[in-house]
Structure formats: structure tokens, C-alpha cells
């Protein structure tokens, strides 16, 4: 039977070797990078007030959201405070947003522009998935209990930090009724 003094270095080496093979992290210099699956699709279900991140068809996470304070239905025009419905793309990330962090949604699409034009109205824009103003960050997940945005999709600041990391520019976002 090995003595405890000889066993400790052996166990430490074994533990370090085992962790380095099974742990999905990578180091670069003195920084540690977690390998988190990237989202390849976002689905917002307005009726359920949820935003779901998917990767390769599997759910990564579901978030409760606040939506536009306008009435039900798709966004018709600028200033109606409705959250749009349809297929879009996350086309920009904004790390300097008034609402902590933001992902820009490519609204309006061609159908949105055509509908607004037929009504003689402007479709609007500046639709984002975002957090809350930093001065209101204490609200946390309470912020999603009422619809308060001007047509955007809002989560807590901690949640938008996760989403911001996991969603690359170019990710499709499907907003359903």
C-alpha cells in the first residue's frame, strides 16, 4: 500500500489530467473561455411571452419576456407600440444600448413595408431584444410581468447578457402570435 505522501501527488496529477480531458473549457494565455453552444435560432411566442434559444433543433433556454405595450396583433406602423410578427434576422449587436445590451431585429421585412405602404404609413423600425435601463436593473425578472416596451422584446439584464453571448449576428428570429 502506497504511503499517503506518495499517493497525494499521484492523485493530484490524475485529477488534473482527467479534468483537462473532460472539461469543455479552453485557456488562452491567462483567460478561460467556456465553450457554450451558440444559438442558431430564436423563437418568440408572443401569446406565451417567451423567447426560446435553439441550437441544432434543441432548446438551449427559455426566457420570459415583456413585449410592446400596444394591442395584440402584428406591428402595423411606426408608433403603434406593437411587437412585430414574422421572420427576421438578428442583424446587429449593441453593447452601448440604453437598455444595457441589445440585439437588433431586422424589422421591417418586405411584407411589413408593403403592408405599411398600403395603409399610407411608415412601418417603423428599431426593434430590439434588450434588457432594462441600468437604473432599473434591480427589477430583475419582475420587468416581464407587464408589457412596457415600444414594440421590443425585453428580458432582465442578466438574461440579455446570456443571450448576447450565445446569439451571433445572422441568427434567424421568428416572432409568432
Give whichever of 1-15, 54-68, 131-145 has the largest mean pLDDT.
54-68
pLDDT of residue 70: 85
Identify which has the larger pLDDT, 72 or 121: 121
Q: Which residue bears the cell 433556454? A: 61
What does residue 22 show for φ and ψ, rounded to 5 degrees? -95, -15
CATH number at 41-176? 2.40.440.10
pLDDT at 89 over 60: yes
pLDDT of residue 149: 94
Question: Any idea where the domains of the chain sit in the sequence?
Answer: 4-34, 41-176
- Report CA Rg, the chain: 22
DSSP 8-state secondary structure symbol assigned to residue 1: -
34-85, pLDDT tens digit by residue?
566 799 999 999 999 999 999 999 999 999 999 999 878 889 889 999 999 9
Nearest CA to 93 among 83, 104, 84? 104
Query: Which band of pLDDT confidence, cut at 50, 70 and 90, is reported for residue 12?
Result: very low
Q: Which residue bears the cell 504511503? A: 3
Identify which has the larger pLDDT, 74 or 163: 163
- Average per-residue pLDDT for the chain: 83
pLDDT at 20 over 60: no
**Mean pLDDT, residues 7-18:** 41
Amino acid at each position: 500500500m502506497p504511503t499517503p505522501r506518495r499517493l497525494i501527488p499521484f492523485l493530484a496529477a490524475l485529477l488534473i489530467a482527467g479534468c483537462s480531458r473532460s472539461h469543455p473549457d479552453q485557456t488562452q494565455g491567462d483567460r478561460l473561455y467556456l465553450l457554450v453552444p451558440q444559438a442558431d435560432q430564436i423563437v418568440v411566442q408572443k401569446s406565451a411571452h417567451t423567447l426560446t434559444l435553439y441550437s441544432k433543433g434543441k432548446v438551449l433556454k427559455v426566457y420570459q419576456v415583456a413585449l410592446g405595450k400596444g394591442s395584440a396583433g402584428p406591428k402595423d406602423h411606426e408608433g403603434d407600440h406593437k411587437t412585430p410578427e414574422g421572420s427576421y434576422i438578428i442583424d446587429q449587436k449593441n453593447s452601448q444600448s440604453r437598455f444595457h445590451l441589445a440585439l437588433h431585429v431586422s424589422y421591417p421585412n418586405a411584407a411589413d413595408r408593403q403592408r405599411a405602404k398600403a395603409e399610407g404609413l411608415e412601418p417603423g423600425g428599431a426593434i430590439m431584444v434588450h434588457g432594462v435601463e441600468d437604473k432599473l436593473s434591480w427589477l430583475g425578472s419582475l420587468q416581464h410581468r407587464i408589457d412596457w416596451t415600444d414594440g421590443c422584446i425585453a428580458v432582465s439584464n442578466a438574461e440579455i447578457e446570456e443571450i448576447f453571448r450565445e446569439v451571433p449576428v445572422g441568427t434567424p428570429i421568428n416572432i409568432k402570435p
